[in-house]
Amino acid sequence: MRALWNRIRDRLRRDALDAELVEELRFHQQLLERDAGDASPVRARQRLGNVTAVREETRDHWTLGALDRLLQDVHYALRGVRKSPGFAIAVIVTLALGVGANAAMFGIIDRLMFRPFAYLANPAGTGRVYLRFHDHGQVITKGESIEYTRYLDLKRHTTRFARMAAFSSQSLAVGLGQDAAEVPVAAVSGSFFGFFRAQPTLGRFFGTTEDALPHGTPVAVLGYDFWQSHFGGRNVLDSTLQVGDVLATIIGVAPRGFVGVSETAAPAVYLPITALASSLSFGVGSYYSTYYWGWVSVMAERKAGVNDAAAAADLSQAYRASWVAEAVQNSDLPGPDIAQPAALMGNLKAGAGPELAPKDRGALWVSGVALIVLLIACANVTNLFVVRALRRRRETAVRLALGVTRGRLLAQQITESLVLSGLAGLAGMGVAQLGSAAIRGFFGYDAGSLMLLGDTRALAVTGSIVLAIGVVMGVVPALFAETGDLALALRTGVRGGTHRRSRLSGALLVAQAALAMLLLVGAGLFVRSMSAVRSMRLGYDTDSVVVAAVNQRGAKISDSNSVALSHRLVEAAATLPGVSHAAWVASVPFYSSSWASIYVDGVDSVGKLGHFTYQAATSDYFATTGTRILHGRALMVQDQGTAPRVTVVGAGMAKLLWPGRDAIGQCLRIRTAQAPCTTVVGVAEDAVQQSLTATNDFQYYVPISQFGTNHGFALVLRTRTAPAGQLEAIRKALQRLMPGQYYVTTRTLASIVNDERAPWQFGATMFSVFGALALLVAAIGLYAVIAYGVAQRMHELGVRVALGAQRRDIVGLVMRQGVAFAVSGVVLGGVLAAVAARWVTPLLFHESARDPVIFGTVTVVLLAVAAVACALPAQRASRADPNSALRTD
Amino acid sequence: VPRTAPSDRRDLLPGTLDMLVLKILSATAMHGYGIAQELQRQTNDTLRVEEGSLYPALQRMRQKGWIKAEWKQTPNNQRARYYTLTPAGRRHLGTEVTRFADLVAAIGGVLGLA
């Protein structure tokens, strides 16, 4: 121990020690010569021995062995960076982009799929319940939007589970007056906290007694961060908090870092799910005995010894029993033998479950793309290293000849590549931070939750990637470029001897080009999908329509007052300066839809033909949204109350229900088969309601006053100019009419629709960015290799010129070689893209995954870029000088 | 210039140089040249020691804390590095001498010299 300490101290003052040793040896020498007297001084020198060897040996005592060698290698590597900054920058930038893209995507994928929830007691045995059934020939799987009644059925009919809980996250206004703000609220069953091994920071959690049917007990547990930010961490037990319509007593505070099973923002408040359900007024009287309202997710913990199959079987028989119970209430429901209801326990995180949401699938795809970019970057950097190793072959040979061991050389190379990949890793973390800041909005994460620098999992993964790359970059070029025959390498002149093409280098070039082709085809497909999504007629105008939603809170007003309020709102809205039309509606596209059974004489079971939703609206609806009437007429002011019942149907619905006949004048019975006729008076263009991709969603329109009292929740307004600047003015004007705690929120219809387009927008953007990146990196790689080849062949080319080769022959020679790589890459990449088409198809929109236009365009672009990358070296090659070629050796 | 009968001189047993140097220093502080002289004198020139090899050994022992080094004036007013035995060095010398004596006795027993 003491010896090591002395060694380290000596290492730090080794220059002084060295000087002292020299002085000591000189003194010794002097005395030897003095004592030898007249005898030969040579003899005196012999007695001391080899002074240099002595110094070397002594010096070893104040070095730190391997550590010193490492420092020396790092020093050497850094000197290399300074000496050829171009090479270093190319390596670092290329790798930083690849590593950064992957670090950013890992941060997201990890949260989406892998990272277990904090405090969960039994992560392996806990899962989410997924329901599966057949609907119109499609298999539907869902892990959310499950009815609360269904949850009760599942719980009642299963025996293999230790506990089961329903949960739902809502955005609710918390607090009163000026302080009111919408925060994430988790409504959870009383059994929920039993899934976790967590102790409340303050007070207690609620249990099943507070979560009893039908109303529950209005108690609340606060999230730790919310408690800190809103209450400064003081004792809030037994005080009350207005959460939406629930006036709750605070009974506890969850521990720091507890997020329940929330995948995005941590809940601010936890409420018993029954307390929240009974307060939400969706016109659903008994949320616990009917199957109209799907709004919860279900989590369950298996009993010990129950495997996946047993759990699924248990859940499936319970779901079937539940399906039968639902069929009793809803005669439209296909029987269990047709629907084949089945259930399973899957990953608690929906992002890793059997049915991925478009954004989850998008995240996976983009991660794959990021990985490809990293592969291209690695291929490119390996190539740069190989080329450099070839260039250094002579230097390496000289060093080997001077006695440096191959192991030492390899260590030096690995150190160098590690230094470079380490620097690239640092730069990559910067890239990742910027990148995840840019894409986090898409995944609904708040700013703080994606700090990669404080995220040990992301850092560990990035570190491992960097380390692996560093080692591979160091070893591979050494394997392929190491001089086999020392003597041969030494003998050949400055030229570097015969032209040596590396097969590895060529393979890497082809791989890069192939992957770039793959990404660019993907980019092209997504960009085309994006423009198809954008240009698709939705069945209404989005650019000049505003949605103003009325949010009920606090004491409700009576139905008749609600109707009066809607009239006042429509009048007030229509007279606003920038507004041309306004209508009161029951549905808003992508926001809410309304459904009722319909019956048509002569058609058996309309519900089996498709999904029919209705829009109940006031008379100006079509003028407001711009939905075109194809035949007949729109809704009119006269179609009210006791006037004959009328409806306008979508074109697709008309064709489906009355094929080959005129829909005008037909009879539609709404809600029951015995209901009086509602006469079709018009046919409108089809309008997209719930999903941009659905093919069997249909819409019909009814006057809101004929349809029922107290219907509708929002205004749609048509503005004369772009609406974005008028949102606040509209909101203020309408807010003045609000009774009690009611409040108005305004959005443009365009922003609602854009949210739906986001997955395609995201795909198009990410594929384009990564595709461009891949192209650039591959081009740099091609350039570097061709330029190196030319530099090495200058002598040979000079001889060719001397023998009468023309400039264009030389240019052609070089270009052919480069373009051959590109062509092989394009062919290989094209095949890969065609094979991958199967998996890409569901992500595209009205676009074939094997679109020949895209394949053709990308091929042309890639070959053009390859030609440009080769043109410069080819130009240089054509200037090969026959004189200098003949004069050297 | 040939040295007189170099083959008459013996190589040092491995590991014994340290012990000899420590023994020499146990009498008095000495510089490197002095140690070399003393070694020759006390062994009657039987041992073949390249004097340069003293210096790595001295550094090693200094790092192990057995000896200390100080720059001092020689009687002839020259600057020289003097080495002194430390208490730890004295202890180490004690154990080494015992071990060596045991070894010699054992070998002697086998050879029938005792």
- Cross-chain CB nearest to A6 (options B3, B63, B78): B63
**Residue A20: closest C-alpha in chain B:** B81
When scoring B11, B45, B51 by the number of chain A Cβ atoms within 10 A, the one with the most, hence best to mutate, is B51
CB–CB contact A27 B31 (8 Å) = yes
Q: What is the pLDDT of residues A507-530, one digit of tens each?
A: 888 988 898 899 899 889 988 988
ipTM for the assembly: 0.85
Token representation of residue A399: 């060093």
- Cross-chain CB nearest to A24 (options B62, B64, B81): B81
Residue with structure tokens 């970059």?
A473
Q: What is the pLDDT of residues A342-382, one digit of tens each?
A: 999 988 888 777 777 767 777 888 888 888 888 888 888 88
Q: Is the pLDDT of residue A270 over 60?
A: yes
pLDDT over 90 percentage in chain A: 30
pTM: 0.70
Comparing A402 with A252, which gets the higher pLDDT?
A: A252
d(CA A417, CA A627): 63
Residues in a beta bridge with A545: A718
What's the whole-number mean pLDDT along residues A538-553? 88
pLDDT, residue B1, reads: 37
Q: Is the pLDDT of residue A38 over 70?
A: no
When scoring B4, B54, B55 by the number of chain A Cβ atoms within 10 A, the one with the most, hence best to mutate, is B55
Q: Is the pLDDT of residue A334 over 90?
A: no
d(CA A78, CA A423): 11
Q: What is the pLDDT of residues A419-457, one digit of tens each?
A: 899 999 999 988 888 887 777 666 666 555 556 666 788
pLDDT, residue A9, reads: 82
**Residue B54: closest C-alpha in chain A:** A54
CB–CB contact A6 B33 (8 Å) = no
Q: What is the pLDDT of residues A579-596, one digit of tens each?
A: 999 999 988 888 877 888
Token representation of residue A384: 């740069």
CB–CB contact B65 A2 (8 Å) = yes
Establish if B53 touches chain A: CB-CB under 8 angstroms: yes
Q: Which of A118-122, A797-801, B20-24 has the lowest mean pLDDT?
A: A797-801
Question: Whose CA is closest to A57, among B20, B54, B89?
Answer: B54
Helices within A110-163 (DSSP H only): 148-157
- Cross-chain CB nearest to B1 (options A24, A40, A51): A40
d(CA B18, CA A868): 72
Q: Is the pLDDT of residue B94 over 90?
A: yes
Write the secondary structure of A715-748 as one string of H (helix), E (strand) and C (coil): EEEEECCCCHHHHHHHHHHHHCCCCCCCEEEEEE
B73 interaction partners in chain A (CB closer than 8 Å): none
Q: What is the pLDDT of residues A91-126, one digit of tens each?
A: 888 889 889 888 888 888 888 788 888 899 999 999
Comparing A447 with B110, which gets the higher pLDDT?
A: B110
Establish if B80 touches chain A: CB-CB under 8 angstroms: yes
A7 interaction partners in chain B (CB closer than 8 Å): 63
Q: What is the dihedral of CA A720, A742, A282, A212, to 10 degrees?
A: 150
CB–CB contact A49 B50 (8 Å) = yes
When scoring B17, B63, B81 by the number of chain A Cβ atoms within 10 A, the one with the most, hence best to mutate, is B63
Find all residues with CB under 8 Å of A625, minimum gap 6, and list them. Answer: A540, A541, A545, A583, A716, A718, A749
pLDDT, residue A281, reads: 56
CB–CB contact B3 A43 (8 Å) = yes
What's the whole-number mean pLDDT along residues B43-72? 85
Q: What is the pLDDT of residues A275-320, one digit of tens each?
A: 998 887 554 457 888 887 888 999 999 999 999 899 999 999 999 9
pLDDT, residue B88, reads: 92
Residue with structure tokens 């041992």?
B47
Q: Is the pLDDT of residue B3 over 50?
A: no
pLDDT, residue B6, reads: 47
| 3-state SS, residue A82 | helix
Q: Is the pLDDT of residue A888 over 70?
A: no
Q: What is the identity of the amino acid at A83?
A: K
CB–CB contact A3 B51 (8 Å) = no
Q: What is the pLDDT of residues A683-719, one digit of tens each?
A: 999 998 888 877 778 999 999 888 876 678 899 999 9
B52 interaction partners in chain A (CB closer than 8 Å): 25, 48-51, 53-54
Comparing A71 with A866, which gets the higher pLDDT?
A: A866
CB–CB contact B52 A43 (8 Å) = no
The average confidence (pLDDT) of chain A is 85
pLDDT, residue A7, reads: 81
Find all residues with CB under 8 Å of A879, minimum gap 6, and list them. Answer: none
d(CA A208, CA A54): 84
Q: Is the pLDDT of residue B53 over 80?
A: yes
B31 interaction partners in chain A (CB closer than 8 Å): 24, 27
State the smallest CA–CA distance between residue A409 and chain B in angstroms: 28
Q: Which of A75-79, A184-188, B102-106 has the lowest mean pLDDT?
A: A75-79
d(CA A477, CA A519): 27
A42 interaction partners in chain B (CB closer than 8 Å): 1
* Residues of A engaging B, defined by a Cβ cutoff of 8 Å: 2-3, 6-7, 10, 20-21, 23-25, 27-28, 31-32, 40, 42-43, 46-51, 53-54, 57-58, 60-62
Comparing B26 with A55, which gets the higher pLDDT?
A: B26
Q: Is the pLDDT of residue A168 over 90?
A: yes
pLDDT, residue A498, reads: 45
Find all residues with CB under 8 Å of A438, minimum gap 6, and list them. Answer: none
Q: Is the pLDDT of residue A332 over 60?
A: yes
**Cβ atoms of B62 and B69 closer than 8 Å:** yes
Question: Whose CA is closest to A567, among A417, A464, A709, A442?
Answer: A709
Residues in a beta bridge with A680: A647
pLDDT, residue A15, reads: 85
d(CA A432, CA A454): 13
State the smallest CA–CA distance between residue A116 and chain B in angstroms: 52
pLDDT, residue B4, reads: 43
d(CA B96, CA B93): 5
A57 interaction partners in chain B (CB closer than 8 Å): 53, 56
d(CA A165, CA A270): 13
- Rounded to 5 degrees, what are φ and ψ at A259? -125, 10
